[in-house]
Structure 1
């Protein structure tokens, strides 16, 4: 009972400071949002089309939407189209002249106008796709017109013939093996698990200062002098570290699921990874908070190790982008094993049995850290 009381006091002491709450929950959620918007998932650029609505104009619109790479929607007029582009609702717009069908059938010139914001990178990519579609359509129209001029038949018939001969013009891609990033996943699925691992470990290390402060203020000495046995004090301090780490992990999981729709995969598998990584973070905090007698080294090393190991383990830059040598080095961090486990759960629909190897390695990390941490904590209590 005393151990539980000590553990809950440690948790309350951290949560009592509002800045800690912001760091434990607000900052990770904001990081998930930013990384998800910047790098996560894939977006279809939105193209607005206004102007002529004849058969040939609609054929051009269909060519723009072919393949599903561009999301095309009709807009009432050019003024509305320009306004939607300026407000960011559309990445770009194409204005088709009203005489488009007549000009094409007669072999004349039809000028298309593309509208975009120069600073929008999506608009630049969209412009390339629009140019390619327009050029291909122009080639088919010119071929059909050439046939008409040579007396091969009416324009509509010639256009149908050259379209069938040209095919759909699409490049078909076949993926062999397992895709690194499966299609259809939401943008925030890629940012949530690494952020969870980074901040759980970082928070555990930075809040380890509580252990040092407890000794500096004489609280540990007074508890040890009371009828409270050393094992109860140690259990309470361990429980406090674990409660802090676990509370943050659960809050990040729940917050990302509610706000961004992040699915964490198999519940048993996700719970197992969360628990063992909590043990890793708690063990690391126990070591850091028990070894040093002053607050300065704890704060400095907590930040350096939390960020450094997190970066090396793939929580800032995806492991998939690492070279083979760096990936081997990353395996020395618990973050890389947690990253692999969550990747399997979130992206591959893996279950608990599939991530048992990663869970086992993380459990070994936790056991080693707790062995050192408990020895250092008992030594500091007895010495104090």
Structure 2
């Protein structure tokens, strides 16, 4: 059994055409999606202007908010170019006459330049909050307009207004502060490529049948059970290899977090068993390697799209979420979300592991039954 499984892994590694789809392509997609939807760490806000004391106060408040990384930019053209290229999440353009306009009680516009993406929209809300807080005294002075502007601002700053005190209390376990776009991209690409590689790798099982390797195995003093277990272990091993390449590569290159190592490893193993069972079934049903690759691509991409590996499950409507959970991808995504967003452990993903185990058991049983019939036919 071990020898048969090992030979399948050797065939995967020795075929140089597998380097791109197994190693390079998943990492490239994680890089592209991670940068496109915000990158790692805090969002980067470019700021132009801010020469006067009031403008400097606003810039200092933005830098000290803790919700963004402030980057000084020379002018508006450079800021827009950086936002378009993705090196900045957004840019705040402070006009040259910002201080004079406030002192003259003249309305001031602060253009906010950003792409239409979730991270930029979230950053815009944070920037508006800081601007509203910093300019509160100036806006109040513009409403009163009795005396000089500096005196009014100073007096307003000393006013203590009684009001309602809001107390925030956190209950339950602590939650992580932020999940980067690279974490989300790596999770979806892991499930997409583990399942896709498993299905397209079923072509090697068909080649084993067509080249007569399976007949020679049956002619040796090896039981059919050992042959079937070896082929199943080979399919699962290929899926695990693909998953480990994505996990380790994304972690080393982009700092992707996978949450609790035991929980992440258990989810990867369970999903690899699902992929191995699906590959067994496809390899037993398909008649040619080309047919297996075509059906594998169609099924792999289709189930990934339905299961939320291409579009986040958070964007699905109620009925679509129910349909998504007819696939193993949605359950695996729920498990990784619990590990990352909920700071969970392997105990928190037991329901997802149970459902994936049922998928794997059904596919492996059906695939073994069909493969036994195909090998002995």
TM bucket normalised to smaller: 0.7 to 0.9
In the alignment, the residues of structure 2 paired with residue 39 and residue 31 of structure 1 have an alpha-carbon distance, to the nearest angstrom, of: 12
Alignment check: 8 A CA contact 2:49 2:94 kept = yes
Alignment check: 8 A CA contact 1:310 1:335 kept = yes
Q: Which residue of 1 aligns with 2:45?
A: 46
Alignment check: 8 A CA contact 2:339 2:345 kept = yes
Structure 1 residue 61, shift from structure 2 partner:
3.9
Q: Does 1:260 align with 2:244?
A: no
Alignment check: 8 A CA contact 1:28 1:199 kept = yes
1:44-73 residue CA offsets vs partner (Å, 9 max, x unmatched) = 35232436334x443454566686666555
Alignment check: 8 A CA contact 1:81 1:93 kept = no
Provide the TM-score with structure 2 as the length reference. 0.81
Q: Which residue of 2 aligns with 1:220?
A: 214
Structure 1 residue 113, shift from structure 2 partner:
8.9
Q: Does 1:357 align with 2:355?
A: no
Q: Which residue of 2 aligns with 1:24?
A: 22
For these two proteins, the number of residue pairs brought into alignment is: 361
Structure 1 residue 294, shift from structure 2 partner:
2.3
Name the SS of the counterpart of 1:147 in structure 2: coil
Alignment check: 8 A CA contact 1:45 1:69 kept = no
In the alignment, the residues of structure 1 paired with residue 114 and residue 231 of structure 2 have an alpha-carbon distance, to the nearest angstrom, of: 57
Which stretch has the larger CA shift, 189-198 or 224-233?
224-233
Change (3 A) 1:137 1:21: farther
In the alignment, the residues of structure 2 paired with residue 103 and residue 369 of structure 1 have an alpha-carbon distance, to the nearest angstrom, of: 70
1:228-259 residue CA offsets vs partner (Å, 9 max, x unmatched) = 33233222211211111111111111111111
1:263-342 aligned within 5 A: 263-342=257-336
In the alignment, the residues of structure 2 paired with residue 287 and residue 65 of structure 1 have an alpha-carbon distance, to the nearest angstrom, of: 57
In the alignment, the residues of structure 1 paired with residue 311 and residue 270 of structure 2 have an alpha-carbon distance, to the nearest angstrom, of: 23
Structure 1 residue 38, shift from structure 2 partner:
2.2
Structure 1, unaligned runs of 5 or more: 149-153
Q: Which residue of 2 aligns with 1:139?
A: 139
Name the SS of the counterpart of 1:349 in structure 2: coil
Structure 2, unaligned runs of 5 or more: none
Who wins on radius of gyration, i.e. which is larger?
1
1:203-242 aligned within 5 A: 203-242=197-236
Alignment check: 8 A CA contact 1:140 1:163 kept = no
Change (3 A) 1:289 1:139: same
Taking only aligned residues, the RMSD between alpha carbons, in angstroms, comes to: 3.7
